Amino acid sequence: MTNTIADIETSEMILVTGSNTTENHPVLSTFVKRAVLKGKKLYVIDPRKVKLADHADRWLRPAPGTDIAWINGLMHIIIKEGLHNKDFIEKRTENFEALKKTVEAYTPEYVENITGIKAKDLIEVAREFAKASVASILYCMGITQHTCGTNNVKSLANLSMLCGHLGKPGGGVNPLRGQNNVQGACDMGGLPNVFTAYQPVTSDDTRNKLEKIWNTEDMSKTPGLAVTEMIQKAYEGDIKSLFVIGENPMVSDPDLNHARKAIANLDFLVVQDIFQTETSRMADVVLPTFCFAEKDGTFTNTERRVQRVRKAVDAPGEARQDWEIICGIAKRMGYDMSYENSREIFKEIATVTPSYGGITWERIEGKGIFWPCPSKTHEGTPILHTTRFTRGKGLFHAIEHTPPDELPDEDYPYILTTGRVLYHYHTGTMTMKTNGLNMLSPECFVEISSTDAGKIGLDTGSMVDISSRRGKISAKLKISSKAMEGTIFIPFHFAKAAANKLTNAKLDPIAKIPEYKVCAIKIEPAKV
């Protein structure tokens, strides 16, 4: 996030897209709803009529996979009507003319043909966003989980820069992270092409610095593989062993039938987790570890705030802390990696991570600090890009709409999109151990519009078979006003009817994220 969560309430206009905020981020959604109660404008753009749409001034329903088209359409209107922030563009950005040329073709009528969004509604949103003194964009995986996910995000950045809504309170482009410490994991180098603080592995200076600190040499400058690439390499036999920590790919990965074959093809699988999972059942070795409440450390949340985590209870059985397990394995492999405690590890983090350089255990004892915080006299950075962008000037990207990899046809006439429900979290590793949550959300369902249900001749509660070119599941039909005609929603939490048996493993070429949000399916009455 370029801005803070609290900042949302100071926005004059909030644009939420690709996010079922009330169910996926229920605490954060309260800031949005409070902003509405204070008279701030809210626009929701999403293929489903998510609950937040009930609070919105306007809900726009695009066809799945058409985000670049409607974002370009907004920018077309803003530029045509002279509502863009010319001063901000001139002083703080570059490549505007290329963007302007690209969006010329995206007239409201042209965008309506692609997306289904009414031209007059698009014009209303464009004017409100551009005329607001400050506007905030919130987005989530409905934007990123596409073959064009990276370009979707760049397009939202284009829109915010065009109107000068970056670098000030209440504005910004704000991704809502899917898990509590996924921001921290990325900051710590949990990506295949970077060290901590997004320092590229290809940088000789960075590798030389880290080799001295870590007392090693010849660190590789070759980027590694994303998890989605690892699965394919396992299938092809190029990867022989896999170490999975706190992840359950046998429910969360796309095209699960293919993923199962890939993991079964490994010579050796290790899973490190707090509970038994569908993936750990396939493992050669399972390493039990601590949960969040059993250890000390830090989390970095969606707004870049580094916060303390404190032990509340003792861990059961023979479980060990994640870092103790990893250090133990490193030592047996010939590298003496050892620490006294989490505090010592965090001290090293500050040493090797420029954006965390000024954050200490003592400074976050009572209250977290936003990175970047480069020195111990620095107070942290709640708002990014206040005077300049990381690269100097913000770069406009001229991006054309590209359709999803797989669209409906005669054999598979519906679009499937996946997501979460309020009561369960990710693959249910933790939430499905809770009886109360299982009572509230006991099983998978197939959300469908009343029109589509009428065509099939079935009603709520009917069992149906859902098939794609990759697999088949069975679940109960649920007629819902949230559903868009021609589009089916299935939550991905439930292993017994795993939606990811159906999803397309086609990847975004840059981020390597699969296209979870769009694939072609058919629905039939379940065969008894």
Quickly list DSSP for 252-297: HSSSHHHHHHHHHT-SEEEEEESS--TTGGG-SEEEEB--GGG--E
SS3 526: coil
Whether residues 452 and 495 share a domain: the answer is: yes
SS3 16: strand
CATH number at residue 424: 2.40.40.20
404 inside domain: no
Whether residues 113 and 191 share a domain: the answer is: no
pLDDT at 428: 87
Whether residues 419 and 331 share a domain: the answer is: no
CATH number at residue 258: 3.40.50.740
295 inside domain: yes
Whether residues 73 and 169 share a domain: the answer is: yes
Contact criterion met (CB below 8 Å) for 116 and 61: yes
Whether residues 187 and 324 share a domain: the answer is: yes
Of the residues 353, 370, 387, the one at which a domain ends: 370
pLDDT at 522: 96
Of the residues 176, 208, 236, the one at which a domain ends: 176
Q: pTM score, two decimals?
A: 0.94
CATH number at residue 153: 3.40.228.10
Domain that holds residue 503: 414-525
237 inside domain: yes
393 inside domain: no
Whether residues 27 and 142 share a domain: the answer is: yes
390 inside domain: no
Q: Is 437 left (phi over 0), alpha (psi -120 to 50) or beta?
A: alpha
Whether residues 169 and 214 share a domain: the answer is: no
pLDDT at 179: 82
103 inside domain: yes
Whether residues 141 and 14 share a domain: the answer is: yes
Whether residues 317 and 282 share a domain: the answer is: yes
392 inside domain: no
Whether residues 127 and 205 share a domain: the answer is: no
SS3 90: helix
- Could you tell me the mean pLDDT of each successive run of 10 residues in the chain, 528 residues long? 95 97 94 97 96 96 97 98 97 97 98 97 98 97 95 98 97 90 93 96 96 94 94 96 95 94 98 96 97 94 95 95 96 94 96 96 94 96 95 96 95 95 89 92 94 91 95 95 93 92 94 94 89
Whether residues 205 and 295 share a domain: the answer is: yes
As a whole number of angstroms, the distance between CA 476 and CA 134 comes to 44
359 inside domain: yes
State how many domains the chain has: 3
Nearest in space to 112 (alpha carbons), one of 72, 161, 78: 72
SS3 389: strand
**C-alpha pair distances (Å), 409 with each of 67, 180, 348, 468:** 21, 39, 55, 11
Of the residues 146, 176, 206, the one at which a domain ends: 176
Whether residues 54 and 202 share a domain: the answer is: no
